[in-house]
Every structure is written in C-alpha cells, then in structure tokens.
C-alpha cells in the first residue's frame, strides 16, 4: 500500500524510479517496525493465558475476550482510570487556559522582562525531573501541614504538577500561532468596543483553534503518560494508570494477556483522540512552532 506513485498533477520533477523503489522499501520496513508491537498488543490481549506463558505464537490458538473482563478485577483498573481521567483532564484545561493568557500577553504586548519570561519558561524544559521531585514533595507536604490543603497524595497536587509540564511547550507554540493571527483583527475588535480580553476570546482564540487543540492534545498526553511523579505523589486511592498498570506483574503469575488488554484499553482514548486531531497538531506546528 505505501508509496503508490502519485496520481496528483504531474509535477515538473517526477521522481526517478530508483527513488520510488527506495521509498517503497523504506516505508514498508518502517511500517513493520512501527506496527509489530501494536500487533503484539492487540493479538496477545485476545489470547488465553496458556498462549502467552509458553513460546510466543503469532496467531492465538483461540480467540477469547476473557482478559478484557478479568482486567477490571485483578487490579482496581476502573479507579485508576477515573483518577487518570480527572488528573489529565483538569491539567489539560488549566494548562491551555493559562497558556492562552500568557501567549496573548507575549504576542500582543511589549513589556519589560518579556524576553526573560520566555527564556525562563523554556529553560525549565531542561531541568531533570529528578532534581525537583524531592523538593517539590517537601513543599507539598509543608503546604499541607501549614494550611491543611492536601497536595501530597492528592489529585490536586498531581494536576498542579502536570499542568506545568506541558505549559512551556504550549506557551511557546501558541505565541507562534497568535503571531500568525493578523493584528488588524483584534484591533478591529478593540475599535468595536471589546476590551483586550474580549478581543482575545472573540477574535484571537477562535482564529487560533487548531493551535489550541494541538496544545490541548499535547497537554493531555503528557499528563496521561507520566510515571515518575505519579509513582511518588499518589497513594492507593489516587493512583493513576501509569503506576497502577504495574500491578499486573507484581503478582505471582504474570498475566501477559491481561497486561496487553489493559494497555490497549488505557491507550485507546489517547491514541484515538490523537489520530482524530493530529491534522490540527501538524497545522499548529506548521503555523507556530517551526516557522
């Protein structure tokens, strides 16, 4: 299927046959590399336990949906799922709103310290997570002791942490995107009596929807997949999927078919969302980040 020669309008530089063949072989190999683990995940999740404990087999001896029923009782997957949804959802909404405000300020105003702000925010990407894991843990515990706001072990603490992880990239990408929205549009809105925030929400935001969607997808994926802070900052009731999924292999038997089924179940929401919205991500990157 890959690389059937183009049927689009013949360009003046029709690629030579050698290039077409190289491309065909390369893309086929790459597709194999990419899809084998996906195939293993799907096929193993439909196998009986005997098929995944013995020698690997490409095809199941029989198809069964039992792993999909068992995953919910082997570990409290439902609870982990709800926790992950709450944490990633809230972190995404907050992160996007905050990034929109910041990017608007940087894109539309000149003010003292602008460059310091953008450089500082971007440079936080450089910090090894391990450097601020323990201090952050201590800060959350102390805030809890001093004010009674439970950040450590709670979903709130995790939401707060995760939203800052996606913030730098989101701000950076939205600045580029907002810069590409013609300034005349918000000036017209200001003339019509909108305040600066009115101009932002009635003109700039609607024009930058693809960029905002892209940033939201990124923020959700970041929060949904994080392991380090989730493993330290959650307890039994607030545990997220990233940590909870390890529960299947600490038992005596390793239920590989259930692990694969659970991995598939937790992947479907993000992968489906990502693939539906990936057009926006590419458009957003093209207009913003890589310009």
Partner 1 sequence: MSPDTAMTATAPAAEADVRKSSPGAAREPRRRPGRIRRIGLPYLLLLPALLLELLVHLVPMVIGIVMSFKELTQFYIRDWGTAPWAALDNYKVSVDFDAPVGKALLDSFLVTIGFTLLSVGLCWLIGTAAAICMQDTFRGRGLLRALFLVPYALPVYAAVITWVFMFQHDNGLVNHVLHDQLGITDQPSFWLIGDNSFFALLTVSVWKGWPFAFLIVMAGLQNIPRELYEAAALDGAGMIQQIRRITLPSLRPVNQVLVLVLFLWTFNDFNTPYVMFGKTAPEAADLISVHIYQASFVTWNFGTGSAMSVLLLLFLLVVTGVYLALTSRERRASHA
Asked whether position 4 contacts partner 1 by CB under 8 A, the answer is yes
Q: Look up tokens 């082997």; give the residue.
A: 74
Asked whether position 221 contacts partner 1 by CB under 8 A, the answer is yes
- Is the Cβ of residue 16 or residue 148 nearer to partner 1 in the bound state? 16
- Of residues 249 through 268, those in contact with partner 1 by CB under 8 A are 256, 259-260, 263-264, 266-267
Q: How far is CA 137 from CA 121, 129, 140, in A?
A: 21, 12, 5
- Is the Cβ of residue 64 or residue 196 nearer to partner 1 in the bound state? 196
DSSP H helices in 204-255: 205-207, 209-225, 228-233, 241-244
Asked whether position 98 contacts partner 1 by CB under 8 A, the answer is yes
Asked whether position 225 contacts partner 1 by CB under 8 A, the answer is yes
Asked whether position 289 contacts partner 1 by CB under 8 A, the answer is yes
- The separation between CA 198 and the C-alpha centre of its own chain, rounded to angstroms, equals 29
Q: Look up tokens 């957003």; give the residue.
A: 284
In contact, 100 and 171? CB cutoff 8 Å: no
- Is the Cβ of residue 50 or residue 209 nearer to partner 1 in the bound state? 50
**One residue of 138, 149, 209, 251 binding partner 1 per CB under 8 A:** 138
Min dist CB 244 to partner 1, Å, is 9
Asked whether position 117 contacts partner 1 by CB under 8 A, the answer is yes
Min dist CB 137 to partner 1, Å, is 9
Mark 16-45 with x for binding to partner 1 (rule: CB under 8 A) and - for no binding.
Answer: x--x---x--xx--xx-xxxxxx-xx--x-
β-pair partners for 234: 153
The residue count for binding partner 1 (CB under 8 A) is: 116
The neighbour count for residue 76, using CB atoms within 10 Å, is 16
Which residues are CB-contacts of 91 (< 8 A; sequence separation ≥ 6)? 158, 159, 162, 163, 166, 219, 220, 223
Span of 12-20, 59-67, 68-76, 201-209 interacting with partner 1 by CB under 8 A: 12-20
Helix axes 155-179 and 209-225, enclosed angle (nearest 10): 150
Span of 66-74, 75-83, 204-212, 224-232 interacting with partner 1 by CB under 8 A: 224-232
- The separation between CA 132 and the C-alpha centre of its own chain, rounded to angstroms, equals 21
Radius of gyration of the chain (CA): 24
Asked whether position 171 contacts partner 1 by CB under 8 A, the answer is yes
Asked whether position 101 contacts partner 1 by CB under 8 A, the answer is yes
**Cα separation, 196 vs 198, whole angstroms:** 5
In contact, 274 and 222? CB cutoff 8 Å: no
Tokens representing 265 are: 């179940």
Asked whether position 81 contacts partner 1 by CB under 8 A, the answer is no
**One residue of 59, 127, 146, 252 binding partner 1 per CB under 8 A:** 127
**One residue of 91, 158, 175, 233 binding partner 1 per CB under 8 A:** 175
Asked whether position 107 contacts partner 1 by CB under 8 A, the answer is yes
């Amino acid at each position: 299927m890959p690389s059937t020669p183009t049927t689009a309008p013949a360009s003046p530089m029709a690629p030579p046959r050698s290039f077409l063949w190289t491309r065909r072989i390369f893309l086929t190999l790459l597709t194999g590399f990419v899809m084998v683990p996906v195939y293993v995940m799907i096929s193993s999740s439909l196998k009986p336990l005997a098929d995944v404990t013995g020698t690997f087999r490409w095809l199941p001896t029989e198809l069964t949906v039992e792993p999909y029923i068992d995953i919910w009782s082997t570990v409290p997957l439902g609870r982990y799922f709800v926790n992950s949804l709450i944490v990633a959802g809230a972190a995404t909404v907050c992160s996007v709103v905050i990034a929109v405000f910041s990017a608007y300020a940087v894109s539309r105003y000149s003010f003292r310290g602008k460059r310091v702000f953008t450089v500082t925010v971007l440079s936080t990407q450089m910090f090894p997570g391990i450097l601020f894991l323990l201090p952050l843990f201590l800060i959350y515990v102390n805030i809890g002791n001093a004010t009674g706001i439970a950040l450590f072990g709670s979903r709130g603490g995790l939401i707060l942490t995760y939203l800052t992880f996606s913030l730098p990239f989101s701000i950076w990408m939205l600045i580029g995107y907002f810069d590409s929205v013609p300034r005349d549009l918000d000036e017209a809105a200001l003339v019509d009596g909108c305040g600066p925030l009115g101009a932002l929400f009635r003109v700039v935001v609607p024009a930058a929807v693809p960029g905002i969607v892209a940033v939201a997808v990124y923020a959700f994926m970041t929060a949904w997949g994080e392991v380090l802070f989730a493993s330290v900052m959650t307890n039994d009731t607030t545990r997220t999927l990233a940590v909870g999924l390890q529960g299947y292999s600490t038992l005596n038997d390793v239920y590989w078919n259930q692990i694969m089924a659970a991995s598939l179940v937790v992947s479907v929401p993000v992968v489906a969302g990502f693939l539906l919205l990936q057009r926006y991500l590419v458009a957003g990157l093209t207009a913003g980040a890589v310009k």
